[in-house]
Amino acid sequence: MLHDKIKQYSEEIAAFSPSSSADVENFRLKFLVSKGIVKTLFEEFKEVSTEEKRVLGKVLNEFKQLAEAKFKDAQEQFASAKVDLKNEDDLTLPGQGFSLGSRHPLSLVRKEIVEIFKKLGFIVSEGPEIEDDWHNFSALNFPPEHPARDMQDTFFIKKQDGNDMALRTHTSSVQVRLMEAGQPPFRAIMPGRVYRNEAISARAHCFFHQVEGLYIDENVSFADLKQTLYHFVKELYGDDTKVRFRPSYFPFTEPSAEMDISCTICKGAGCQLCKGSGWVEILGCGMVDPNVLDNCNIDSKKYSGFAFGMGIERVTNLKYEIKDLRLFSENDVNFLAQFESEII
């Protein structure tokens, strides 16, 4: 019995290879303290027969020496890793800095956009990136075969059951999901990633990010839309930013508009970014088409509302003058480290 134990512990000690001074201390506590294994085995030794004592005495002593030698070695190994302070070491020098991560510029700008709308009572709502035709197109008043579907080059995915799904081409799909799930009032913004089948270049990418906005209640008018977006632009780009609306077309809004702001880079004087016009487009918007409300089981006679959608990359470019869209997805630390760092 005792012989077996000694053998087993000897193997454990031989295999012991500490990776920290805590391991060394644990070794000491296990084997070498007064209630440790070495002492316990010596206690057990007292109980064995005289013949056994003759054999085991030597074995046990060797075991004790093995444990002590291993401990000493281990202790030295970690003692030498300690900082060897010399007289000339200046303890008042500042420590070595380490860099915190920084938020991705798109996350920063999304956060800013969300904060502005939250203060106006908008909630944040999200939806799936793989969508069905209904939520991405049909419910939004894109009839089948309607040329407006070609406005957005879509990636399709075939499901096992043979049905097509799409990678959502816009976050307008989340409007539909939100409205289907309840009844007005709705006041929400919907940030998320969207996909389009485009060749990747400095000015286009096959995925990017949008924020959709939706406000539905009784008596919501185009004036509410304008006032909300004016407020948003001034909060984001400053009070002196000018805003203008141009008539446009989207299947899901009627009337529809695109909103331009005075160029944030040249302040309207004309530069490369605004192609000399002094204005840059920032978002699409309009009054939600009654067909869309009806498709989502909302009474379009009782309720009205507005929607808008903007690209986060675009909003970010207008803030930070980023000329190549590819930078957003290349994870180049030199690029990313330029943006605000934060303890997350």
Which range in 53-61, 262-270, 301-309, 329-337 contacts ligand DAH by CB under 6 A?
Answer: 301-309
Q: How far is the CB of 288 from ligand DAH (least distance, A)?
A: 7
Q: SS3 for 38? A: helix
Task: Look at residues 269, 260, 258, 209 and name the one whose alpha carbon lies nearest to residue 237.
Answer: 260
Q: In what order do the strands lie in the sheet with 156-158?
A: 130-131, 164-167, 156-158
**Between 237 and 306, CB nearer to ligand DAH:** 306
Task: Look at residues 200, 198, 176, 196 and name the one whose alpha carbon lies nearest to residue 188.
Answer: 176
Buried/exposed 219-258: b ≥16 CB within 10 Å, e otherwise:
ebeeebbbebbeebbbbbbeeebebebeeeebbbbeebbb
Q: Check binding of 304 to ligand DAH (CB under 6 A).
A: no
Could you give the residue ranges of the DSSP H alpha helices within 193-247? 222-237
Q: How far apart are CA 158 and CA 164, in angstroms?
A: 5
Which range in 26-34, 112-120, 281-289, 325-333 contacts ligand DAH by CB under 6 A?
Answer: 281-289
Q: How far apart are CA 198 and CA 195, in angstroms?
A: 9
Please enumerate in sequence order all residues whose Cβ is within 8 A of that of 327, keeping only pairs 6 or more positions apart, or say none.
Answer: 335
**Between 44 and 224, CB nearer to ligand DAH:** 224
Restricted to residues 198-257, the positions that interact with ligand DAH (CB under 6 A) are: 212, 250, 253
Q: Check binding of 284 to ligand DAH (CB under 6 A).
A: yes
**Between 63 and 137, CB nearer to ligand DAH:** 137
Q: Check binding of 295 to ligand DAH (CB under 6 A).
A: no
Q: What is the dihedral of CA 72, 73, 75, 77, to 10 degrees?
A: 160
Q: How far apart are CA 164 and CA 156, in angstroms?
A: 6
Q: How far is the CB of 248 from ligand DAH (least distance, A)?
A: 8
Which range in 99-107, 229-237, 278-286, 332-340 contacts ligand DAH by CB under 6 A?
Answer: 278-286
Q: How far is the CB of 170 from ligand DAH (least distance, A)?
A: 3
**Between 191 and 284, CB nearer to ligand DAH:** 284
Q: Check binding of 170 to ligand DAH (CB under 6 A).
A: yes
Size of the residue set binding ligand DAH (CB under 6 A): 11
Was 131 annotated as part of a binding site? Answer: no
Report which residue's Cβ sits closest to ligand DAH.
309
Task: Look at residues 185, 131, 118, 172 and name the one whose alpha carbon lies nearest to residue 307.
Answer: 172
Q: Check binding of 282 to ligand DAH (CB under 6 A).
A: no
Residue ranges in contact with ligand DAH by CB under 6 A: 170, 172, 212, 250, 253, 284-286, 307-309
